[in-house]
Amino acid sequence: MDYIIVLILQVLYSVASLALVCAGLAVVFGMMRVINLAHGEFIMLGGFTTVLSANAGVPLMIAILVIAPLAVGIAGYLIERLVVRHLYGRMVDTMLATWGLSLLLVGLATMVFGNQVAGVAAPFGSVTIGAYGVSLYDVFVIGITIAVLVASYFVLAHTNLGLIARGAMQNPEMASSLGASPARIYSVTFTAGAALSGLAGGILAPLSGVVPTMGAAFVAKAFITVITGGASILTGTITASGILGGISTLTTFAINPVIGDVALLLTAIILLRFLPYGITGRFFRGAN
Amino acid sequence: MKQSRRTFLKSTVAVGAASLAGPALIGTAHAADDTIKIANITDVSGGLDIYGQPQVACLELAVDEVNANGGVLGKQVELIKYDPQSNIQLYTQYATEAATREQVSAVFGGVTSASREAIRPLLRRYNTLYFYPTLYEGGVCDRNFFCNGSTPAQTIEVLMPFVMEKFSGKKVYVIAADYNYGWISAKWVKHYTEANGGEVLDTEYFPLDVTDFGATIKNIQAAKPDILFTLLVGGNHMSFFRQWASAGLAGKIPMASSDFGVGNEHIVLTPEESNGMVAAYAYMQELETTANTAFLERLRAKFGDDTPYVNELAVSAYNAFYHWVGGVERAGTTDRLAVIKALEDGTPFNGPGGRSVIDPRTHHAILDVHIGEVENNAFRVLESHSQRPPSDTAQFCDLLSNPNDNQQYVIGTKA
C-alpha cells in the first residue's frame, strides 16, 4: 500500500516537473512558433538567480517564486528586443540565433559563476509514508505546477490579454487589423515564457545542482514534450507531460533510468508518427 | 589543427624513422634544443573542469619546482598545455599535435576513462610516453602507459570490508555512472562485497545528464540495503545527494564511495547532505603529515587565494611528473625506452600522500591508501593502509614477461 502511494506521488512529481520545465517553451512555441534553443539556459539563469539570492540572505521562497521569474523575465524581454524580434517568421534563423545565444549564456555563466556546482538545500523536510521517506518539497513542486497551470488557464481564458494573445496566435493579420499590436504581444509572450522558465529553474535549484551547462539536461526533453503536445499550450503540455513523464517514470521504476529515457523517446516517436501535429493537433482541438 | 605540410612531413619522417631505427631518434631530436618539452592535455573548461583544474595546478607546481632546481638533465622543462574543453575529439587532435608537431618527451593528462582510451593507442603509435594521473577502473596493460592514480583493488578492496564492519552490514546497493568507469568499478564492488561474505542487491547505472533520482531513491528504500555504494560522476549526479537528503534519508543508510569528493562533492553539498560518506583515496588534503603540510604551503605560495582544493587526482599529476623526472635523470636521456626501463627499476617517489612506487609489471603505482569520512565539508582520515599494490591489474597484466601487451583487461574476463 505504502509503495503504491509513493509510486503515485513519484509519477505525479515527474509529470509536474516535466510540465514545469516545458511551460516556458510551450508558451513561446505555441504562441509565436519560435523554437527557443536557449530555453535550457533560461532555466539555468533561474537556478543561479535563486541560489545567489538565497545565499545573499533572501528567504528561499521569495528567491524561487519572485526573484527568479522576475530576473529571467527581464533577461527574456531584452533578448526579445535585441535578437528574436528581428527574426520572426524565419524559423531556421531563430533556431540558429537562439542556439548561439545558448552557447553565449553558458559561456557567460561559466565566466561569472565558474563551473562549480552551486545549490541550496531543499526546504520543508520530509514525511514518512510506511517504509518510505518522501520529500515534502516534491509535494510542493506538484502543487506549484498545478497553480501555474491554473493561473495560465485563467489568464488565457478569462482576461483581455489572454483573448488578444489567443487571437494573435490564430491569425496575426486579423488581430493586427483589429488594433492589437503583434509586436507588443510577441514581446509580452516571450517575456512571460522566459519568466516561466526562470521559475522552473528556481524551483529545480534545490533538487538538482546548478551548473552553467545544466540547460542541456532539460532542453531535449522539453522540446520533445512540447512538440508531442502540439499547438494548444496548456492542454498540449499537460497531456504530453502526463503521457511521457508517466511512462518514463514507470519504466524507470520497473527497469532502470536508461530504459526510462528510451521509453520516453519511443513513445514520443510513436505519437508523432500517428499524430504529426501533436496530441492536440488531433484531440482537444481549439482548447487552450 | 594548425600544421604546415613541412612540419607534417618532418614529423611523419621522424616517426617513421623512429619505428624503423628504434625510438632513439626522437631522443636526439630533443637534444638539439635547450629545453625539454612535455605536454599536458587536461580539461580545464567544460563539464569536467572541476577535475582538471587542480590537476593542472599541481602539475604546474611540480614543473616550477623542478625548473627552479636546475631542471632535468640540466635543461629547463617546457610545459605545453592543451585544454580539450571536456571534448573527446579535441583530445585526439591535441595528442596528435603534441606527439608530432611538438615532439614532446611525454604527455600527461586525460580525465575520464573515455578520454584516456582515445589518446592512449595514439600516443603508443607515435612512441610518446603517456602518464595518466587519474584514479580509474584499472586493467590497462600497455608498456608505453603509466597510471599514477589508484585503482579499485587499492581502494575498494580495503574500503569494502571497512564499511561492512563499521556499519555491520552485508547487503550493498550500488549506483553508478553509465560509462566504463561506473560499469567496471561496480563489478569490483560486487567482487569485493562477495569476497567479504556480503551480497549486492542491485546495481543501477545513470547517464551523466540524469538529474531526477526520485524513482531510484524509492527503489533503494524498497530494497533496504545496509550500505549504499555510489560511483556517481559529475555535477548532475550531485542531485542524487540533495534529493536523498530532502527525502529525509541522510544518515539513514550509510554510504561509501570510491570517487565521492574528487569532484568537490563534499564541499558543494551541505554537511547535512554529505556527512558520514566514507571514501578511500591515495591522498586527502586533510592528511597531517609533514610532507603534505609542506606541499600545501608551496601550493598556497604559488596560487594564493586561487589555490584549489587538492584531491587524489591532483596529487597523482604531481607524482606523475616527478616519476618522469626521476626516470629521465636515471636514464640520463629522454629516450623513450631508456626512460621506461628506468621507471621500471622501482625507485620510489615520496609524494604528499605518501610513498609512490611504479610497479614494473603493470606500470601502475603502488600507493598508500587512506580511508576517510566526510565531516562538515572535509574528510576526516580514519585509517591508512601502507603500500597497496595494483593487484586488480596485476591479475592479468605482466609487462615484464609480455612487453607487447596492449589492452584493457576487465574483471570477469579471462586473461
Pair (B332, B349) in one structural domain: yes
Pair (B223, B339) in one structural domain: no
Partner-chain contact B252 A249, CB within 8 Å: no
Partner-chain contact A10 B215, CB within 8 Å: yes
- Given A6, A216, A253, which is nearest B209 (Cβ)? A216
Contact (CB, 8 A) for B235 and B267? no
Q: How far is A279 from chain B (nearest CA, A)?
A: 25
Position B31 pLDDT exceeds 80: no
Instruction: Give the pLDDT confidence score for residue B123 in this predicted structure.
Output: 94
**In the structure, what pLDDT confidence band is assigned to residue B14 with cuts at 50, 70 and 90?**
very low
Packing angle, helices B49-68 and B312-331, rounded to 10: 40
Q: Which residues of B touch A119 (CB under 8 A)?
A: 238, 242, 268-269
What is the SS3 assignment for B345? Answer: coil
Dump pLDDT digits (tens) for B322-356.
Answer: 999 999 999 999 999 999 999 999 889 999 989 99
* Residue B387 forms part of a structural domain: no
Q: Which residues of A touch B245 (CB under 8 A)?
A: 121-122
Partner-chain contact B245 A122, CB within 8 Å: yes
Q: Count H helices, E strands: chain A? A: 13, 2
Pair (B122, B159) in one structural domain: no
Strand partners, B355: B350
Ramachandran quadrant class, A111 (left: phi over 0; alpha: psi -120 to 50; beta: rest): alpha
Pair (B212, B330) in one structural domain: no
Partner-chain contact A258 B46, CB within 8 Å: no
Cα separations (Å) of B9 from A22, B128, B252? 54, 18, 63
State which residue of chain B sits closest to A132, comparing Cα positions.
B221
Instruction: Give the pLDDT confidence score for residue A233 in this predicted structure.
Output: 79
Partner-chain contact B215 A260, CB within 8 Å: yes
Position B184 pLDDT exceeds 60: yes
Position B371 pLDDT exceeds 90: yes
Pair (B14, B140) in one structural domain: yes
Pair (B189, B81) in one structural domain: no
Average pLDDT over residues B189-214: 89
Pair (B161, B113) in one structural domain: no
Give the Cα separation of A168 and A175 in Å (integer): 5
Pair (B321, B273) in one structural domain: no
* Residue A21 forms part of a structural domain: yes
CA angle at B254 for the pair B248 and B257, rounded to the nearest 5°: 115
Partner-chain contact A121 B205, CB within 8 Å: no
B352 closest CA partner among B321, B375, B318, B385: B318
* Residue A288 forms part of a structural domain: no
Residues of B with a Cβ under 8 Å from any A Cβ are 45-47, 49-50, 178, 204-207, 209-212, 214-216, 218-219, 221-222, 224, 235-236, 238-239, 242-243, 245-249, 252, 264, 268-270, 272-273
Instruction: Give the pLDDT confidence score for residue A285 in this predicted structure.
Output: 62
Instruction: Give the pLDDT confidence score for residue B118 in this predicted structure.
Output: 93
Domain that holds residue A200: 2-282
Pair (B132, B251) in one structural domain: no
**In the structure, what pLDDT confidence band is assigned to residue A176 with cuts at 50, 70 and 90?**
confident
Pair (B39, B142) in one structural domain: yes
* Residue A287 forms part of a structural domain: no
Dump pLDDT digits (tens) for A113-168.
Answer: 876 667 777 777 777 777 787 888 888 999 999 999 899 888 888 888 888 888 87
Residues of A with a Cβ under 8 Å from any B Cβ are 3, 6-7, 10, 13-14, 17, 110, 115-119, 121-122, 124-128, 131-135, 137-138, 204, 206-209, 211, 213-214, 216-217, 249, 252-253, 256-258, 260-261
* Residue B252 forms part of a structural domain: yes
Instruction: Give the pLDDT confidence score for residue A257 in this predicted structure.
Output: 80
Cα separations (Å) of B224 from A167, A249, B171, B213? 55, 21, 8, 17
Q: In the listed set B262, B281, B300, which residue is the last one of a domain according to the structure?
A: B281
- The domain tally of chain B equals 2
Q: Count H helices, E strands: chain B? A: 15, 16
Position A199 pLDDT exceeds 90: yes
**At A196, which CATH number?**
1.10.3470
**At B329, which CATH number?**
3.40.50.2300
Give the Cα separation of B287 and B381 in Å (integer): 7
Pair (B116, B16) in one structural domain: yes
Give the Cα separation of B179 and B177 in Å (integer): 6
Contact (CB, 8 A) for B175 and B206? yes
Select the residue from B218, B269, B270 to test the A interface by mutation, using most A Cβ atoms within 10 A.
B218
Dump pLDDT digits (tens) for B93-124.
Answer: 999 999 999 999 999 999 988 899 999 999 99
* Residue B375 forms part of a structural domain: no
State which residue of chain B sits closest to A249, comparing Cα positions.
B215
Cell of A174: 486579423
Give the Cα separation of B49 and A106 in Å (integer): 14
- The domain tally of chain A equals 1
Give the Cα separation of B354 and B4 in Å (integer): 45
Domain that holds residue B294: 5-150+288-367
Residue B110: phi and psi, rounded to 5, are: 95, 130
User: Is 0.85 exceeded by the ipTM?
Assistant: no
Q: In the listed set B345, B367, B389, which residue is the last one of a domain according to the structure?
A: B367
Dump pLDDT digits (tens) for B156-183.
Answer: 999 999 999 999 889 999 999 988 888 8
Q: What is the SS3 string spanning B348-392?
A: CEEECCEEEEECCCCCEEEEEEEEEEEECCEEEEEEEEEEECCHH
Q: Which residues of B touch A133 (CB under 8 A)?
A: 221, 247-249, 252
- Given A119, A127, A132, which is nearest B221 (Cβ)? A132
* Residue B65 forms part of a structural domain: yes
Average pLDDT over residues B35-50: 87
* Residue B376 forms part of a structural domain: no
Position A2 pLDDT exceeds 70: yes
State which residue of chain A sits closest to B272, comparing Cα positions.
A121
Listed in order, strand segments (DSSP E) in A98-156 are 126-129, 132-135
Position B15 pLDDT exceeds 70: no
Rounded to the nearest integer, the mean pLDDT of chain B is 86
Partner-chain contact A256 B204, CB within 8 Å: yes
* Residue B407 forms part of a structural domain: no
Instruction: Give the pLDDT confidence score for residue A116 in this predicted structure.
Output: 67
**In the structure, what pLDDT confidence band is assigned to residue B33 with cuts at 50, 70 and 90?**
low
Instruction: Give the pLDDT confidence score for residue B415 in this predicted structure.
Output: 34
Pair (B320, B262) in one structural domain: no
The amino acid present at A287, given as its one-letter code, is: A
Q: How far is A153 from chain B (nearest CA, A)?
A: 27
Size of interface A-B (CB pairs under 8 A): 130
Instruction: Give the pLDDT confidence score for residue B41 in this predicted structure.
Output: 95
Residue B171: phi and psi, rounded to 5, are: -95, 120
Q: What percent of chain A has pLDDT over 70?
A: 97
* Residue B402 forms part of a structural domain: no
Residue B128: phi and psi, rounded to 5, are: -120, 125
Dump pLDDT digits (tens) for A226-276.
Answer: 888 887 778 888 888 888 888 888 888 888 788 888 888 898 888 888 887
